């Protein structure tokens, strides 16, 4: 089974590639960067192209059986996604798994939430057998905060006090591979969530335990967060993410017990918990630190 992965070099897509290889599928990764093709695992084909280019859209979907798509947060996200749906439709692709976002209808005003709704709608009307995965906030986002955690003892993501049902990207990838390679998931939408709700404070407490040092939650001051973030992210993205964190602080993004049960049935096991991820990550960071000292 030949499967095209759109977004196959990112944190989720790279894990999808690994999961497909483990299931003896033949992954093909679409990337804008010829340089990134060099780092793909053995047995993975790379194709250079751009979903904003009609030539790519007319060619890259030919001779593939399925598609996994995650669209990067960008100002052209919706257009790229719609181009991909049309490319898959014109090439009679037999299965399409799209990664959207958890409870997207609750916050369509958020640019990188609302941008996914037209893609979902187009996919459902396309005639292609589809599965939509709607994941929560990723555990692995915390990799970005390594320096803040280790050097300054601060957990800076302003998640708020209501809580998120955060999820491991490896569980997202496994869910995608299952939906791509097994029957019974066509026409389904899955909320891809973790087993417990975490707040900013509880997340900092977990990091404190696994790191063996006091980690303080950076708090809910979004003016301060925006000022700091503008030094490393484009203004349009900071504006988008600030709106998202305002929504999280006011409403949370929490799974229902039925969501967690559905996730466990899909995976055939309980989804990974955040504390296990944090402990694994702390050990990895410690091992890297020891290697640097040698």
Q: Considering the chain, what is the average pLDDT of its residues?
A: 96
CATH class of the 2-136+168-192+256-271 domain in this structure = alpha beta
Domain range annotation of the chain: 2-136+168-192+256-271
Please give the pLDDT value at position 144: 96
Instruction: List Cα–Cα distances, 23 to 65, 130, 155, 178, 193, in angstroms.
Output: 15, 19, 37, 9, 23
Residue 21 binned pLDDT confidence (cut-offs 50, 70, 90)? very high
Mean pLDDT score, 221-226: 98
Please give the pLDDT value at position 291: 64
Per-residue pLDDT reduced to its tens digit, 60-95: 999 899 999 999 999 999 999 999 999 999 999 999
Q: Which residue has the tokens 């990799």?
A: 143
Dist CA 219 CA 155 (whole Å): 9
Q: Is the pLDDT of residue 290 over 80?
A: no
Output the pTM of the full model: 0.95
Phi and psi at 51, nearest 5°, equal: -70, -10
Contact yes or no for 291/236 (Cβ under 8 A): no
Residue 207 binned pLDDT confidence (cut-offs 50, 70, 90)? very high
Please give the pLDDT value at position 224: 97
Axis crossing angle, helix 257-267 with helix 169-181, rounded to the nearest 10: 60
Please give the pLDDT value at position 44: 95
Closest alpha carbon to 94 in 121, 67, 122, 125: 67
């Amino acid at each position: 089974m030949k499967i095209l992965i759109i977004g196959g070099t990112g944190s989720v897509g790279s894990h999808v590639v690994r999961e497909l290889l483990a299931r003896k599928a033949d992954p093909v990764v679409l990337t804008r960067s010829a340089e990134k093709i060099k780092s793909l695992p053995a047995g993975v084909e790379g194709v250079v192209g751009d979903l904003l280019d009609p030539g790519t859209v007319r060619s890259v979907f030919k001779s593939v059986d399925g598609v996994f798509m995650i669209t990067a947060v960008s100002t052209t996200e919706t257009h790229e996604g719609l181009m991909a749906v049309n490319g898959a439709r014109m090439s009679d692709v037999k299965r399409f798994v799209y990664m959207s976002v958890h409870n997207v209808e609750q916050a369509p005003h958020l640019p990188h939430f609302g941008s996914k709704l037209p893609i979902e709608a187009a996919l459902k009307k396309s005639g292609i057998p589809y599965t939509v995965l709607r994941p929560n906030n990723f555990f692995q986002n915390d990799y970005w905060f390594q320096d803040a955690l280790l050097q300054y003892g601060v957990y800076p993501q302003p998640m708020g006090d209501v809580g998120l049902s955060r999820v491991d990207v490896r569980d997202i990838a496994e869910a995608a591979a299952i939906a791509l390679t097994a029957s019974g998931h066509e026409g389904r939408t899955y909320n891809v969530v973790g087993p417990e709700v975490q707040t900013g404070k509880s997340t900092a407490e977990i990091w404190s335990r696994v790191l063996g040092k006091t980690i303080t939650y950076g708090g809910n001051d979004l003016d301060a967060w925006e000022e700091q973030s503008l030094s490393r992210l484009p203004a349009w993205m900071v504006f988008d993410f600030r709106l998202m964190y305002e929504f999280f602080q006011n409403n949370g993004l929490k799974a229902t017990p039925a969501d967690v049960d559905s996730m466990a049935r899909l995976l055939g096991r309980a989804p990974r918990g955040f504390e296990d991820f944090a402990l694994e990550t702390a050990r990895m960071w410690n091992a890297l630190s020891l290697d640097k000292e040698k």
